[in-house]
Amino acid sequence: MFRYYLSLALRSLERNAVLTALMIATIGVGIGASMTMLAILRAASGDPIPRKSSQLFVPQIDNWGLGNTQARPVSSDGLPTNLTYQDAMGFMRAHAAPRQAAMYETQLVVTPPDAQRYPFQAGARATFADFFPMFDVPFEYGGPWNSAEDEAHAAVVVISRALDDRLFGGGDSVGRTLVLGERPYRVVGVLRRWAPMPRFYDLNTAGGTFGFGGAEQLLLPFNDAVDQQLGPTESLGCSTRGKGAGAGWSGLLHSECIWIQYWAELPGAAAVRRYHSFLRGYVLAQQRDGRFDWLPRIALRDVHQWLAYNHVVPDSVNILVEVSFGFLLVCLLNAMGLMLAKFLARSASLSVRRVLGANRRAVFAQCLAEASIVGLAGGLIGLALTTLGLAAGGLLLGRDLSSPGRLDGADVLIAVALAIAAALIAGLYPAWRATRVQPAWQLKAQ
C-alpha cells in the first residue's frame, strides 16, 4: 500500500508543479538556515580530543591578586588564563605530571631552500617534546624531538604537511635543513593534517577567533625559542600590582606578565588529586617567599571544563541557532498553508476515492505520503543551501569561526530526517482537514 500511496502522491504533485515547487522551496530554505547554524554549533561545541579530554588539564594560579585593574586575559573569577615564564618553568622543573608542556605562539621568518624564492613569515609554536604524545599529534614522516633535545636547546623543528609541500615539494623532508630567522634548523618530523576544532590548547585570539584558528606551521623546542628571544605574538597581560615587564627580554622573563599556556596529562583521579596538592604547595611556597601577599587561589580544569570556562561557543552563535529554528518554524507554517490549499483544492478527487471505497485513514496516508516527498526534496535543497551557507558564513561570523562547520554523514542524516519530520508535521492538519470533507457535498457540487 505504501508504494501505491507514493505513486498517487507523485502524480498529485506533478499536476500542480508550481505549488509543489513553492512547498519544496519553503521547506528547503528553512532547513538550509537551521542546518547551517546547527553544523557550526556542533563543530564549535564538539570534543576536540575525545580519547583524552578527561586526562588533559590546565593549571591556573592567581599571581596578580584581586586588586588588579589592568585589562588582561582573565575569566570572570579573576584567575589569569596563562602563566608567567617563571611559573611555567617552575612547573616544568617539578615534573609533577607524567607528561607536561609549556608553550606559546610566535612567528619566524622562513627562508626557502630555493634561493629564487622570497622569505616569508610563518606561525610557530614553541613547546616541549611531551606536546606531541600528549595531544596525539599525527606524523606523516619522522616524529617529534625528544626530552634530551629539549634540555640541549637543540635546533630542531617539526613542520606541517602544507609547509613541507611549499618548501620541499612534498615527500619525506626529515633530515633536511631549514633556515628560520638567521639560524639553521634540522627537520625531524612532518605532520599530517592536524587542526583540532576548537584549538583547545591555545584559545588566545591571535591564532584565530574564539580559538578556531588553524594549527601552526612550525613547532620548535621551547628552550631554543627563549634563547633566540622569539617573542609571543599574543598580547601580554601585565598586572598593575605585580612586577611589570622590565627592559628587554630578560625583563619579560622575570616579570609577572602572563603569556605562556601550560597543559599537563593526568591519567586518573589519583593523579589529579596529587597535582592539585602540588599546585597548592607551590603557591603557598611563593607566598612564604614574599611574592604573593594574598590568599592563594588555584584551579585545575580538563578540556571540557576549560572550553566551558572560556565560553568558546560565543553567545552570538547560540542566538543565531535559536533565530534559525524560529525561521524554520515560520517556513513550516507557510508550508502548512500551501499544503492546506493544495489538499482542499483536490477535494473532488479525494471524494471520488472515498465513494469508491477508500476510508479516511487511506486518504490521510495519501496526503502524508505527499508531505513526505515534499520533505525529502526540501531536505536535499536544504543540504545544498547549507553547503552554500557554510561557505559564506565567514561574512557574518568571521572566517575562523565558520571554517569548522563541515557537513558530515551525521549532518546529512539530521537534515533529511528534520526535513521529512517537519513536512509531516506541517502536513498533519491539512491531511486531517482533507479527511473531513464530505464526499456527498463535493460530488453534488460537481
Give the model confidence (pLDDT) of 120-141 as tens digits. Answer: 999 999 999 999 999 999 999 9
pLDDT at 69: 45
Residue 66 vs residue 298, higher pLDDT: 298
One domain, residues 337 and 207: no
Q: 305 with 319, same domain? A: no
Q: Where are the beta strands (DSSP E) in 284-334?
A: 298-302
Q: How confident is the model at residue 442 (pLDDT cuts 50, 70, 90)?
A: very low
Examine residue 167 and state whether it is found in any structural domain, yes or no.
Answer: yes
Residues 93 and 231 in one domain: yes
Looking at the fold, whether 178 and 324 belong to one and the same domain comes out as no
Total length of the chain:
446
At CA 105, angle to CA 189 and CA 220, rounded to 5?
Answer: 25
Domain containing 338 equals 2-45+314-445
Task: Decide if 319 is inside a domain.
Answer: yes
Which segment, 175-179, 243-247, 358-362, 376-380, is predicted with the most confidence on average? 175-179
Distance CA 138, CA 52 (A): 15
What torsion do the CA atoms of 183, 188, 194, 196 make, to the nearest 10 degrees? -70
Task: Match 612550525 to its residue by C-alpha cell.
Answer: 218
Please check whether residues 175 and 105 belong to one and the same domain. Answer: yes
**38 in the same domain as 98:** no
Q: How far is CA 303 from the centre of its chain?
A: 13
Shared-domain flag, residues 118 and 266: yes
Q: What is the mean pLDDT of the chain?
A: 82
State whether 299 and 422 are in the same domain: no
Q: How many helices (H) and strands (E) does the chain have?
A: 17, 10
Q: What are the tens digits of pLDDT across the range 169-199? A: 888 999 999 999 989 999 999 999 888 878 8
For residue 334 the three cell numbers come to 507557510
Q: Domain boundary at 291, 309, 327, which?
A: 309
Q: Are residues 138 and 265 in the same domain?
A: yes
Give the ranges where 228-268 is alpha helix by DSSP (H).
248-253
First and final C-alpha spacing in the chain? 29
Give the count of domains, the chain: 2
pLDDT per residue over 197-211, tens digit each?
Answer: 788 999 875 444 445
CA dihedral 312→318→320→324, nearest 10 degrees, is 130
Please check whether residue 97 lies inside any domain of the structure. Answer: yes
User: 0.85 exceeded by the pTM?
Assistant: no
Q: Residue 50 domain-assigned?
A: no
Residue 68 falls within a domain, yes or no? yes
| Domain final residue pick, 309, 333, 366 | 309
In DSSP terms, 190 is beta-bridged to 141, 159
DSSP H helical ranges for 98-232: 131-134, 147-151, 161-168, 222-227
Asked whether residue 36 falls in the same domain as residue 90, the answer is: no
**Residue 149, domain member (yes or no):** yes
- Whose grid coordinates read 603557591? 283
| pLDDT per residue as tens digits for the range 261-309 | 999 999 999 999 999 999 999 999 988 888 887 777 899 999 999 988 8
Q: Tell me the β-bridge partners of 100.
A: 264
pLDDT of residue 105: 93
38 with 83, same domain?
A: no
334 shares a domain with 259: no
The residue out of 309, 324, 352 marking a domain boundary is 309
Domain contains 51: no
